[in-house]
Amino acid sequence: MGKEVERKFLVTNTAWRELAEANIRILQFYLAAGPGRTVRIRISDGTSAKLTLKFGSKARERDEFEYPIPLSEAVEMLD
């Protein structure tokens, strides 16, 4: 189990682009979301998928469980 700590930053210019080395295309969707709980599927670069469970009601910190799942199953849940 990990802890998710929510951080938000305001980007004021595009200087960060010079430091970027690679990119990853992410497709994500939520299977369920409610007070203090979310279930998310994330597909990265169309090659791998993860199921993420998040629990907790604190504003900035929640328990997070993440598991790899077969890409074919993630795509099936998307449809």
pLDDT of the residue at 54:
93
| pTM of the full structure | 0.79
Pick the CATH number of 16-78 from 2.60.40, 3.30.160, 3.90.820, 1.10.10: 3.30.160
Query: Each residue's pLDDT tens digit in the chain (79 positions)?
Result: 688 878 888 999 999 999 999 999 999 999 999 988 999 999 999 999 999 999 987 778 889 999 999 999 999 999 8
Catalytic one among 30, 31, 60, 65? 30
Point out which residues pair with 5 in neighbouring strands. 61
pLDDT of the residue at 56:
87
Mark whether 67 is an active-site residue. Answer: no
Q: Which residues of 2-39 are buried (b: 16+ CB within 10 A; e: fewer)?
A: eeeeeeeeeeeeeeeeeeeeeeeeeeeeeeeeeeeebe
